[in-house]
Structures are given as structure tokens and as C-alpha cells.
Amino acid sequence: MSPSTAEIRAISNKEDRTNVKRMKKEEDIRQSVKDKFYPGLFDQASRETVRQSVQDSKPYPHCKISKLINDDLLRRVHKEIYSKLNFTTKETDIYKVNQTGDLANMDGLDDQERGELASLFELRNAIYSKEFREYVQYVTGCGPLSPTKMDMSVNTYTEGCHLLNHDDVIGTRRISFILYMPGEPDDHWDPSFGGALELYPVVERDTPANEPTVSVPPQWNQFSMFTVLPGYSFHSVEEVVVEGKPRLSIQGWFHFPQEGEIGYKKDAEKSESLSTLQQLEAAVDVKENFEQYKTDLTEEATLGLTEEELTELATWMNPVYLNTEFIGQITDKFLDESAVQLKEILNQELFDKIKTATFKCDEMDNFTKAVMPPHGTGVRGDWAVQGSPVSQRFLKLTDNVKSDEETSVLFEQLRSYFQSEAFRHWLAVLTQLLPTGYRGMARRFRPGHDFTLATTNLRGQPVLDATLCLATTPNAEAAEKWESCEYGGYECYMAAHEGDDDPATYRFNDDDGALLTMAAGTNELSLVLRDENVMRFVKYVSARSPGARWDVAFEYDLEEEAEKQE
């Protein structure tokens, strides 16, 4: 029997009431989520303003939202973080930061633990809510985002913390974001404190420019986000130089849709991961670019120096290192450990000239004060930036020195000494190795700017590293600072990562022990036989350091059978 018209109308009315209730419930949920954010954020006019700022932005799509979260909620989050969470200091060649675990893991907390972090839990869920994901998709034009994959942690950058240049391309990351809570809620963060987000244009894909074009200092409740673009979205976090004012932030990512989700693309993660590995592996040593000596050395060269060579070396070296008996003691140590550090290697007359010239230069550039120097400081005359900052940045002395500026003249002399046949022969006697070629340069690592990331010896045989460090050290206090390694500038040798195919952990695992760490010193020559697959880097020089790390760094190519002579 068919239902009557009245019955059909009743059923329809009941369904309408159900739909109205459902729609009201959904609207209540949406409003509840929106209440977690700053008033007016979701207004159409506000959305359009942010959307336009993203479209107009350079060097790649990004935006800054001055106020993102309901202020009362954010203050509660700030309080919970400092009272309930523990931070672990993590440091590698690319960063130094204090970090919590992944906030995605909060779902595994028991009721009591979750209750203690109720506001943080509320904030996390609001950021990854459907409403805010749709907002992000609209203003950035990034396309679909995963509704399930959360990737977020709390970071605090205390004095000396930093994050060097990288493009954030790991796995399925699509949008990178930072929510700032620096200092105390009612404090103003002065840009001189450091900690700014810096965005870099590219010279070409995968090659960022040496200096950023956008700097975004943090402020309370400020939200920055940008589209993660392989080979383009290069950025860094400027070192925090202020004491007692941590730069607290929540850092996270929205991801591409995962398998089974709307908008999923099978090859998205694969293409992103390969690009990331290319970025993080940086440069490698190859057999090219060595200047070959015109003559060969025989085994007899390891027995001793000629009178002419001793006379030549005595013009710049400390005479103690020309003593046959003392050289023998150094040789024994080198053969046993494959590394030695020789203090006071330059004679006093030459060292005094260099010490005076470098300190004068550092004072002129304001490198002897604990402040963040502007980008471009120190770039003049014969000293130019050597990049790209995805793998290194420092000032390099040009190959053809034209000025009579004192540091240029002195470091050109040092460079010529390292290229000489007499020094080659001295190395052969001391190390019992036979150098066949060389490559090297004079460098200046500026505080607040310069570093090298880990590069790997993939040449198939060892290489001999000879580095003369002349870090600015005007007094005993400065020497102690360099020796502590807390101010960077040290050189570190590490075993290469073995078979790590996961781009999320490549180079971000700081648990591996260093094979050798040498603090920045002054008038010290280090000799290291670097085996195949050994990485090395010069740690970022802190803006709080005593001055610049000046050095002359050479590598010497060895005979194919060199490893048999160890």
C-alpha cells in the first residue's frame, strides 16, 4: 500500500528537521573551530587580502599574518609549553635548536597527560582542522592538503640557536608554517635580537643567492607560511643573539594528500624526496680541480729537507718545526692517529702582522661585538662571497689580488707558501705521504653568516687536509670562547651516513659521534689524512664569537697507493 500524501509530507518534514539539525551542528562545529582563531581571520575581505599578498610575494609564494590565534588560547598554550614540555637541544652542521617531539604523537597520551596539555591539543587540532586547511588552500592556491597527516613540533631558539639555508623539501611537505610566541606575550621583539625568517631568491633552480631578499622578524601571535617548492623555497632562521629572551615557535607542515585521500598523487613523495636528497648531500670531493705539481716525489723525499728548503721555510715558519728530531716526534703521532695539530706554526714576526691586520679588519666590520651584522658586511676589495649557501658561505680571497690592503697581501703570501715545493716537501717528511697536487684558498668566516656544510670525500682514496687557522683572538677570554666550541667556527670530521634512504632523517640525525673536532684557534696548523667517505664541515660562526675565523685551507692529492703508507 502506497503512503498517503500526508504521510509523505510528514516524512519529508522529519528529514528536513534532521537536515536542519545536522547543518546547525556542522555550523556550530565550524564556529567552534573559528573561535580558536583571531577575530575576523575568516572574513572574506581578510582572506582576499592575504590571498593577494601571497600572489604578489617574492622570492616565492609566502605570507605573514599578524594575528592568527585567539589571544587567550595562545597565552594558555604559552604557559603549558613552559610548564609541561621538555626541550632537547639538537645541533648538527645545519642547525642548533631546542625542540620537543612531534605533536602528532599527542594522540597517544593518556587522559591525564592530555589534560595537562589541553590548550596545546586544542591549538593543534584547530590548525589541522578542515576549516583552516580550506583557508590555507584558498589563500595559497596550493591545492588539496592531507586531512590526516599532522607534522608539528615546538621549537625554542635561545641565544646562539640558528637554522641554515635549506628548502624544506622532505617527503610530502606542501606548506611550511611557523606560529611565533617569542619572549613574553606582551613583549615586543626587536629585530636586533635576531631570529628572523629569511627568504632567498635563486640564481637558478637548486642554487640560492648568497643573501636573502626578505626578512621576517618574529612577533607574538604572528604566523608565517610558504609553499614548499623543490629547488626554490630556500630559507633560514637568523641566529638569536639576545640573552634571556627565547624565540618560541610552533613549526609545522601541511602535507600533500596521502594514499586513499582525495587529491592523492602517487609520485608526489618520490619526486620531493629525490630533490631533498640532492639538496642535503651538498657538494662532494672529486678528482678534478687539483693543480698538479710539475715534478714527482720519490720515497727519498720523505727522508729530510734540503738546506735551501729549510732556509725558505724559515722565512715564515716557526723554526721549532724545522728541527729534525721534533719533526720525527710529530711524524710518529701522525702515523699513529692520522691527524696532528701544530700550535704556533708561523714565526712570531709574521704572526704579529697577521694578528694586527685581522683584528683591525674585524673591528672595522663590527665583528668583535655580539651583534648580528648586516648581510654583505666584509665584502670588498679582493674578498668575495663564496656560495651557494645551500652548502657553504664564506669570504674567499680572489685568485688575482689587486689591492694593497693588508689582509689581502698577507693571506696571498700564506696561500703561496702552501703551494710551494718547499712546503710540499715538508709535508712529505712530516706525514710520510707524497703529495702530487693541491687545491685550496684563503677564507674568512664572518660571525653571524658563514659556514660550510658537511662534504664527503668520494675520491676513492685519502686526501691530506692542511688548514692554518687564524681566528681572531685578541685575549685569553677570546681563546677560551673558541676552545669551548660554543661559538662555532670549529672544524668537524664525521663518518658518512650509510644507506639512509629516508630523507626525513638524512643529516637530521645528530646522534652520530664525530671522529675528530678541532676548535678554532689562532696560529694553528691542522694536518688530517681524510679517508674516503669521511665528511667534514666548519660549523657556523656565531655572531657572539670573538671575531671572524680566518684560515688558509688546502687539500693535497696523494699517490694512488697512499693508504698503504698509513
Q: What is the pLDDT of residue 17?
A: 61
Pairing verdict, β 491-495 and 152-157: unpaired
Q: What is the pLDDT of residue 105?
A: 83
Q: What is the pLDDT of residue 178?
A: 99
Residue 449 and residue 548: Cα distance in Å, rounded? 10
DSSP 230: T
Residue 69 and residue 47: Cα distance in Å, rounded? 15
- CA nearest 418: which of 470, 348, 491? 470
Q: Evaluate whether 161 touches 177 at the Cβ level (below 8 Å).
A: no
pLDDT in tens, 467-489: 999 999 999 999 999 999 999 99
Q: What is the pLDDT of residue 280?
A: 46
DSSP 300: G
Q: Evaluate whether 258 touches 180 at the Cβ level (below 8 Å).
A: no
How many other C-beta atoms lie within 10 A of the C-beta of residue 105?
Answer: 11
Q: What is the pLDDT of residue 46?
A: 97
Tell me the sheet residues that pair with 535. Answer: 456, 494
Q: Which three cell numbers stand for residue 227?
A: 609553499
Domains and CATH numbers, the chain: 25-281 (2.60.120.620), 284-565 (3.60.130.20)
- CA nearest 218: which of 245, 254, 244? 245
User: Residue 467's Cα: distance from chain center in Å?
Assistant: 23
Alpha helices by DSSP H, listed for 338-369, are: 348-364
Residue 102 and residue 109: Cα distance in Å, rounded? 12
Q: What is the pLDDT of residue 22?
A: 57
Residues with Cβ within 8 Å of 404's Cβ and at least 6 positions away in sequence, in order, are none
Q: Which three cell numbers stand for residue 59?
A: 622570492
Q: Which three cell numbers stand for residue 172?
A: 610530502
| Distance between first and last Cα of the chain | 100
Q: What is the pLDDT of residue 20?
A: 60
CA angle centred on 187, ends 184 and 191, rounded to 5°: 115
Question: What b/e string do you get for 317-331 counting C-beta neighbours within 10 Å, with b at 16 or more?
Answer: bbeebbeeeebeebb
Q: What is the pLDDT of residue 368?
A: 97
Phi, psi of 546 (to 5 degrees): -65, -20
Give Cα separations from 430 to 310, 334, 394, 531 (angstroms): 13, 8, 30, 18
Residue 520 and residue 471: Cα distance in Å, rounded? 6
Which residues in the chain show pLDDT less than 50? Answer: 272-277, 279-280, 282-283, 500-511, 562-566
Residue 62 and residue 133: Cα distance in Å, rounded? 16
Q: Which three cell numbers stand for residue 62?
A: 609566502
- CA nearest 328: which of 346, 340, 345, 314? 340
Is 43 strand, coil or helix?
A: coil
Give Cα separations from 389 to 182, 449, 476, 496 (angstroms): 26, 10, 32, 21
pLDDT in tens, 109-147: 888 888 999 999 999 999 999 999 999 999 999 999 999
Residue 144 and residue 223: Cα distance in Å, rounded? 21
- Overall pTM surpassing 0.85 (yes/no): yes
Q: What is the pLDDT of residue 501?
A: 43
Residue 103 and residue 93: Cα distance in Å, rounded? 25
User: Residue 430's Cα: distance from chain center in Å?
Assistant: 36
Q: Evaluate whether 96 touches 194 at the Cβ level (below 8 Å).
A: no
Residue 269 carries which side chain, given as an amino acid letter?
E
